[in-house]
Structures are given as C-alpha cells and as structure tokens.
Amino acid sequence: MTTIIGSLITGHMIQLLTGASGVNSYLSDVLQDNGQPLIPLNSAQVRAQNVAPDIADQSYTMQYPAVSVYCEKIVNSLAEKFRTFSGNVQTTVELRHSQDRLEGLQDALENYVDGILQVLNANRGDWGSGMFYGGQYQAAFGAVKHGGKNFQQVAKITFEIGVSRS
C-alpha cells in the first residue's frame, strides 16, 4: 500500500505542475535579465524519478530546466488507529536548471522555483483519495556546478502530504 500512496502523490503533483494552471501559467509574465521570457516546461521535462544530475546527463537527452518529482519518505504514524495508513508522505520536487553562461542562472532557477511554489500555494487543502496538503514547504538551493549545458544549479522543494486511507 505504501508504494501505491507514493505513486499517487507523485502522479498528482506532476499533473498539478504540467496542467493548465501549472508552472507555465505563472512563468508567462516573468522575464529574464535579457528581457526574454523563461522557457516554458513541457511534459517531457517533468519526470517521476529520483536520479542524480550527473547520471541523468549521461543516461538521457536532457532538456533544461528539468523537474524530478519523487517520494522521499513515507511515515505511517497510525494517527487514526483504525485506518490502514494514517501518516505523512514527504515529497520532493527537484528542479535542475542549466545554461552555457553563469550570469542569470540563479535568477532563472529562482523564478522557476517561485512558479512551483505558487502551484503548491494554489493547491492547499484536500487533494482527494485521502490526501491533504497543509501548505508548508522547504526550498533549498544548491551551489552552481559543472554539468548540463556547462553550468548547472539544483533547487529542492520538500513538502509533506497528510494521508489517511483505509
């Protein structure tokens, strides 16, 4: 049952990110430093997978920005004693952005993260199927490294989904 719960949450989050009111709806008004709009995400850039950036670069033809959605931790705390599962699922949305120039990389990454956070904020509450998002999250930004198109930076957004299922 726990793997089904993790897959349900991951799939639901991907639908939220790529849907009509997803990340692209928030990015349409944002311009980069050079006055160009940010590249919109397509469904091929959003994957349900936890893979290290260097392995992903070697294994796939990557399109940046790239988004990975995965379940990091499942805790059945049995808060509701007569449910089969009653606890929290820690979910992560990992965003990788890469470009050939260092200038503007962090600003672009922060704009994409802001779009993801706006999607989360707009979807507080009941997600159906016994899933509930309370609105809390953590966003962590990594250092710029070599990779991707030359320079690459990663941001991780972690949040918990409350789950109550029989």
pTM: 0.90
Residue by residue, DSSP assigns 113-135 as HHHHHHHHHHT-EEEETTEEEEE
Which tens digit of pLDDT belongs to each residue from 58-115? 666 778 999 999 999 999 999 888 899 999 999 999 999 998 888 888 999 999 999 9
Which tens digit of pLDDT belongs to each residue from 53-70? 767 666 667 789 999 999
Tokens of 137: 């999250």
Asked if the model's pLDDT at residue 140 lies above 70, the reply is yes
Confidence of residue 136 (pLDDT cuts 50, 70, 90): very high
> For residue 163, what pLDDT is reported?
94
138: three-class secondary structure by DSSP: strand
Which tens digit of pLDDT belongs to each residue from 5-45? 989 999 999 999 999 999 998 887 776 655 667 888 988 89
60: three-class secondary structure by DSSP: coil
Compute the residue count for the chain: 166
Q: Where are the alpha helices (DSSP H) in the chain?
A: 2-18, 23-27, 53-59, 105-122
- Domains present along the chain, CATH in parentheses: 2-165 (3.30.2000)
> For residue 19, what pLDDT is reported?
92
